[in-house]
Structure 1
Amino acid sequence: MTPTQTATGRQRRIHVPRPADAAPPQDPPIYTELMRVWADRGRTLPGRHDPEWAELAAPTVRRGQFSDSPAPPDDVR
C-alpha cells in the first residue's frame, strides 16, 4: 500500500495489487527451520490439515437427529 495525502490532510492508503506473474514471497530460513522442527515433533502446522482439530470442531450428531426414527432417551447412552 502507498500512503497519500487527502485535501483534509489525512493520510489514506491505496492498495496496489501485486502483478500476476510475481513470485510469492518466501519464508525466511528461520521460519522454514521452525516448521521442520514442529513437523518432526508431530505438532500442528499453519496451513496444514489437522485431523484432531477437525474431529474436535465437528458438530455433534446424535442418533435419530436427522432421521424419522426417534432418538433414545437421554439416560440410555
Structure 2
Amino acid sequence: MYPQAQHIAYQPPPVVPQPPQPHLQDPPIYRALIRIWADRDRTLPGRHDPEWCMLTAPREAFSGSRDPRGDAR
C-alpha cells in the first residue's frame, strides 16, 4: 500500500506594503512634445478630448436608407 498523503493548506506570504513612489516629472523632451501638440490643437494624453467623445458616443440609430428589398441583409 501507498503511504497516506498529508494535506497542508497553502498560506500565501504576508503582504508587505510598498512605500509610495515619488512622483517623477516628465522628461523635458516629453513636455516639449506636449506643448507642440497643444499649440497645434492635437489630442493630448490624459486630457479630455471633446471631438473623440463625440465620435465614440453611441448613436440612437444609423442614418441611411434601408435595404430596398426589405429582407434585412
Secondary structure of the equivalent of 1:45? coil
- Larger % of strand: which? 1
Spell out structure 1 runs of 4+ moving beyond 3 A.
none
Q: Give the number of the structure whose alpha-carbon radius of gyration is greater.
A: 2
The percent identity for this pair of structures is: 62
Q: Distance in 1 between matches of 2:58 and 2:47?
A: 21
Secondary structure of the equivalent of 2:51? helix
Aligned residues: 48
Residues 32-61 of structure 1: per-residue CA shift (max 9 Å, x gap): 011001101100000000100000000001
Aligned Cα root-mean-square deviation (Å): 2.4
Secondary structure of the equivalent of 1:34? helix
Q: Which has the higher contact order (CA 8 A, sep 6+)?
A: 1
Any gaps of 5 or more consecutive residues in structure 2?
1-15, 67-73
Whether 2:46 is the aligned partner of 1:44: answer: no
- TM-score w.r.t. structure 2 length? 0.55
Whether 2:52 is the aligned partner of 1:53: answer: yes
Any gaps of 5 or more consecutive residues in structure 1?
1-15, 63-73
